[in-house]
Amino acid sequence: MPAVSMTVNGKTVTGDVEARTLLVQFLRENLRLTGTHVGCDTSQCGACVVHVDGIAAKSCTLLALQCEGAKITTIEGLAEPSGPLHPMQEAFRENHGLQCGYCTPGMIMAALDIVRRRGNDLDEHTIREQLDGNICRCTGYHNIVKAIAAGAKAMAKGGAPRQAAE
Amino acid sequence: MSATGIGAAVRRKEDIRFVTGKGQYTDDVVRPGETRAVFVRSPHAHAKIKSIDAAAAKEMPGVVDVLTGADLANDKIGNLICGWMIHSKDGSPMKMAPHPALASGKVNCVGDAVAVVIAETMAQGRDAAEKVKVDYEVLPAVTDPAKAKSGPQIHDVAPKNTIYEWHLGDPKATAAAFAAATHVTKLDIINNRLVPNAMEPRAALAEYDAGTDNLTLWNTSQNPHVARLVIAAFVGMAPEHKLRVISPDVGGGFGSKIFIYPEEVVCLWAARKTRRPVKWTADRAESFLTDAHGRDHVTHAELALDANGKILALRAKTIANLGAYMSTFSSSVPTYLYGTLLSGQYDIPSIYCEVDAVYTNTAPVDAYRGAGRPEATFVVERLVEVAARQLGIEPADLRKRNFIKSFPHQTPVIMAYDAGDYHASLKKALEIADVKGFGKRKRDAARHGKLRGLGFSTYIEACGIAPSQAVGSLGCGVGLWESAEVRVNPTGSVEVLTGTHAHGQGHETTFAQLVSERLGIPFENVSIVHGDTDKVQFGMGTYGSRSGAVGMSAIVKALDKIEAKAKKVAAYMLEAAEGDIEFKDGKFTVAGTDKSAAFGDVALNAYIAHKFAGADLEPGLKETSFYDPTNFTFPAGCHICEVEVDTDTGKTEIMNWTAVDDFGTVINPMIVEGQVHGGIAQGVGQALLEGAVYNKEGQLVTGSMMDYTMPRAHDLPSFRVGLTETKSPSNPLGIKGCGEAGAIAAPAAVINAITDAIGTENLAMPATANAVWTALQGANPRQAA
């Protein structure tokens, strides 16, 4: 089996994987980072969104081998282990932007990418359009939209949009 | 109200683990030496299995075993069952066909599992599954419920594919009322078939301990104890005390995870057979094919009115598709959860409802958010809206003329509504929605080439499911009480074990709010334990918006006992008569004195037992309660949807949504609003976007999220949510339940709004752009160019 090496949440990791192993499988099964979820087989739902070299990507749609040498950030890498939540995580909690929690890691990672691309002052229309790649079945999106707007603002105030592990 | 007590918008305890990726869902659990199960599924909707050849598959790398339906039968593993007996009009029992966990002899829907590969890895299992050769003789299939009776017979026990022909109400009185009516509104309605699509796919992990002969199942269940009961008592997998079911974090259910599914049975069986833990996690394609679907009714409904718009009677004839097998509670959905709600919020003297339930070569159909009540609400609210338009009466006014005004109110279809104020919710909704300003908004829209419409849905539901005697008399095989155990630790912290299960509802927070307020202890000192049959003795789980009304009531009852016991302990400590002890704000006080003991001190004394002898009072502070409600609860409200339709494309945009609901007592308004939002989204999904489509060969055409349209953020508006409150007299907290309201109310509101906009009633769900555009052409054909 080919070996793969990448940086995940600031740590260098290596593993032997079958060529067909998806990035999400490598994260979940090899590294036991189970915060990244799988909700569909067709790149529709976004539960598996992580950051690859700082850009959001659906980890069900990348082979682990494609990420050789890449810097990956998962939901587990957003906040320091015993530190405060990342402002976007805090905003989801504060605004009740989650219910069952299954889509949440992907939502938060996608939300950070919206901030990266569209800045910290996000209107409702922009957020709704930009969330096209993520499906939530619980919340009706109302509070997710509020959470992302609030989280984006909080990131600007904190001046720390950088993630802990990047 | 304290900052964390009843009525406070407390931020959720469970969120810390969810926003940091530390939730523990079934697929996240790993057992040493675990294998993966990969199912071989039928590609045909209806076929005889002539042979299965697994020899090549067994030789594939990493394969532990390949098991078939014949092996299952050899091991005498029993069938899955439907636990609610429905009798036909003629008194005959429903025709429940055998439902083995692996098909044997015949497959009855695409996705029916015929074999399972147990392999070291998922990839190896998939490779091997492709090598299992199944020789099928394909049979003709039937998928349309309206054609089921004349289609090829699916099960020997069910001639004409008919499961039951049920009815409710008084046919003669109803016919007489129709004969006397001055106006009759008639509608043909298809309640579209839906795929629940909880974001976490179903999963099961089974482990066998040969030393103790115990089996453990981790599964994605809304009701682990019921799963254990069915798998033990009916499937016969293991005695109940030798089977532990753990349902950890569960990523949404919406009904689809109530049921006991073949994969759970197979994983348990295979784990014992192979002596290895066996895990199965559905991929989304399997979810589409095998999760129980929802709705799928074909209905003709009529409403009789007098000249003043007073409703005289309602009748409905429904064909309900239950799919290829009877799922766990499927029989109850189109009967006692549907026909009993056909009175809506209205005083209707006579109702008659007939329901024929049929088998088809499709996935089983069972409860999906609302379960029967969305179908009933759609029938009633479409009839009322259309009647108002036909009679030239304002829709809100026609509703007011017919609202039930005094309580309790006995409907002609079993239910006795205990409390409500339907005028209040309508009035508040009219204000929030600025219905007075609608005319101007409609004119403005017209100037931009858009048709604007307004639709109401004044819905009712029966929740808090349910009084055991009542459901027992209607055929339910179980009682629907709930249990709670309150364990006070010596240091005064508290664990509450509940038989309900949370899969997004936030029970760890709301239940702790109740306990914190009642015992006067910090919210942080309360833990809620659920989802493990080894920890919680028994419980009926979470569905039917029952966790607050029934589950929290059980906690109240247990807390009553805790207080009573703690008062005895405090009496010894304070050297006072038990009757003189008062408990308030976490403190036990001798009445009229300043002698007091804090809750924590009393807890400690209960355990060290230095102040009393065991003969007088047992040490410890732990109490259990089983609470059985006295009635259903009846949440109700008014949703108003305002849409704009683009006449060129048929695309509908929801411009405003107003929801005013009466849920009785609200424990946490933030969570309640979230439940309303999510319910509306699913209802809007049904109305505008979602529809499971089988072709006539029985292939699921909408078998992925690329073909089945899930509501996304840009499909929905923000919602304006308000509350009114009449307390339920049927439980100690006055709670009615909020989990399903949105999904029940929304479809009728959307379709009423669109049909108001386009001026024709001939519009089926989902009202896609294509459907609306087509309806527009019918209503107002364009001149040929």
* Tens-place pLDDT, residues B53-62: 999 999 999 9
The answer to whether the Cβ–Cβ distance between A44 and B706 falls below 8 Å is yes
pLDDT 10s digits, B591-626: 999 999 999 999 999 999 999 988 789 999 999 999
Q: Closest partner residue to B251 among A102, A127, A132, by Cβ?
A: A102
Q: Average model confidence (pLDDT) for chain B?
A: 97
3-state SS class at B60: coil
Closest-CA residue of chain B to A37: B200
Closest-CA residue of chain B to A41: B284
DSSP element (H, E) containing B47: strand B47-53
**CB pairs A-B closer than 8 Å:** 182
pLDDT 10s digits, B722-739: 999 999 999 999 999 999
DSSP element (H, E) containing A5: strand A3-8
Q: Retrieve residue B188's tokens.
A: 């043909």
Q: How far apart are CA B653 and CA B658, in angstroms?
A: 15
A 89-118 residues inside an 8 A Cβ radius of B: 89-90, 92-94, 96, 98-105, 108
Report the alpha-carbon angle B353-B358-B360, nearest 5.
150
The answer to whether the Cβ–Cβ distance between B18 and A98 falls below 8 Å is yes
> Is B434 exposed, middle or buried, given 0-12, 13-18 or 19+ CB atoms closer than 10 A?
middle
pLDDT 10s digits, B104-123: 999 999 999 999 999 999 99
Please count the residues of chain B: 785
Strand B652-662 and strand B720-724: pairing? parallel
- In which band, very low, low, confident or very high, does the pLDDT at B340 lie, cut at 50, 70 and 90? very high
The DSSP letter of residue B116 is: E
Q: Distance (Å) from the C-alpha of residue B181 to the closest C-alpha of chain A?
A: 42
> What pLDDT is attached to residue B781?
52
Cα B86 to the center of its chain, rounded Å = 20
Contacts of B740 (CB under 8 A, 6+ apart): B369, B370, B371, B373, B374, B461, B463, B544, B545, B679
- In B489-605, where do the E strands start and end? 494-498, 526-529, 581-584, 587-590, 596-598
Q: In what order do the strands lie in the sheet with B482-488?
A: B526-529, B494-498, B482-488, B622-627
Q: Distance (Å) from the C-alpha of residue B66 to the closest C-alpha of chain A?
A: 23
Q: Distance (Å) from the C-alpha of residue B19 to the closest C-alpha of chain A?
A: 6
Q: Distance (Å) from the C-alpha of residue A95 to the closest C-alpha of chain B?
A: 8
The DSSP letter of residue B735 is: B
For residue B464, give the amino acid letter: G
The answer to whether the Cβ–Cβ distance between B670 and A129 falls below 8 Å is no
CA distances from B446 to A42, A57, B392, B770 (A): 40, 42, 22, 21
Q: Closest partner residue to A102 among B200, B285, B716, by Cβ?
A: B200
pLDDT 10s digits, B463-495: 999 899 999 999 999 999 999 999 999 999 999
| pLDDT of B102 strictly over 90 | yes
Contacts of A165 (CB under 8 A, 6+ apart): A9, A10, A73, A77, A78
- In which band, very low, low, confident or very high, does the pLDDT at A159 lie, cut at 50, 70 and 90? low
**Percent of chain B whose pLDDT exceeds 90:** 98
| pLDDT of B69 strictly over 90 | yes
Could you give phi then psi for residue B146, rounded to 5 degrees?
A: -70, -20
Q: How far apart are CA B252 and CA B193, in angstroms?
A: 19
pLDDT 10s digits, A16-57: 999 999 999 999 999 999 999 999 999 999 999 999 999 999
- In which band, very low, low, confident or very high, does the pLDDT at B784 lie, cut at 50, 70 and 90? very low
| pLDDT of B782 strictly over 80 | no
Burial string for B630-647 (b: 16+ CB within 10 Å, else e) reads ebbbbbbbbbbbbbbbbb
C-alpha closest to that of B339 among B184, B455, B174, B186: B174
> Is B448 exposed, middle or buried, given 0-12, 13-18 or 19+ CB atoms closer than 10 A?
exposed
Q: How far apart are CA B376 and CA B353, in angstroms?
A: 11
The answer to whether the Cβ–Cβ distance between B199 and A34 falls below 8 Å is no
The answer to whether the Cβ–Cβ distance between B681 and A140 falls below 8 Å is yes
**Chain A residues closer than 8 Å to B659 by CB:** none
Q: Retrieve residue A64's tokens.
A: 């682990």
Q: Distance (Å) from the C-alpha of residue B713 to the closest C-alpha of chain A?
A: 5
> What pLDDT is attached to residue B127?
98
> What pLDDT is attached to residue A157?
87
Report the alpha-carbon angle B542-B664-B752, nearest 5.
85
Q: Closest partner residue to A102 among B252, B673, B674, by Cβ?
A: B252
Mutation target to probe the A interface, by most A beta carbons within 10 A, among B199, B220, B690 is: B199
Q: Closest partner residue to A138 among B249, B284, B504, by Cβ?
A: B504
Residue B381: CA atoms inside 13 Å, Cβ hemisphere, count?
32
| Cβ neighbour number for residue A120 with a 10 Å cutoff | 14
| pLDDT of B779 strictly over 90 | no
Q: How far apart are CA A36 and CA A66, in angstroms?
A: 18
Q: How far apart are CA B445 and CA B437, in angstroms?
A: 13
CA distances from B132 to A138, B68, B128, B215, B412 (A): 38, 10, 7, 28, 55
For residue B334, give the amino acid letter: P
Q: Retrieve residue B681's tokens.
A: 């989204």
> What pLDDT is attached to residue B783?
44
| pLDDT of B1 strictly over 50 | yes
Q: How far apart are CA A143 and CA A149, in angstroms?
A: 10
Please answer whether residues A105 and A74 qualify as being in contact, where contact means their C-beta atoms are separated by less than 8 angstroms.
Answer: yes
**Percent of chain B whose pLDDT exceeds 70:** 99
Report the alpha-carbon angle B514-B515-B521, nearest 5.
125
| pLDDT of B545 strictly over 50 | yes
Q: Distance (Å) from the C-alpha of residue A40 to the closest C-alpha of chain B?
A: 5
> What pLDDT is attached to residue B780?
59
Does residue A20 belong to the interface with chain B, where contact is any CB pair within 8 Å?
yes
- Average the pLDDT over A57-68 and give the result: 98
Q: Distance (Å) from the C-alpha of residue A63 to the closest C-alpha of chain B?
A: 14
| pLDDT of A82 strictly over 90 | no
**Chain B residues closer than 8 Å to A145 by CB:** 713, 718
pLDDT 10s digits, A106-142: 999 999 999 999 999 999 999 999 999 999 999 999 9
- In which band, very low, low, confident or very high, does the pLDDT at B356 lie, cut at 50, 70 and 90? very high
DSSP bridge pairs for A49: A58
| pLDDT of B760 strictly over 80 | yes
Does residue A154 belong to the interface with chain B, where contact is any CB pair within 8 Å?
no
- Average the pLDDT over B634-655 and give the result: 98
Asked casually if ipTM beats, i.e. exceeds, 0.90, the reply is yes
Residue A122: CA atoms inside 13 Å, Cβ hemisphere, count?
31
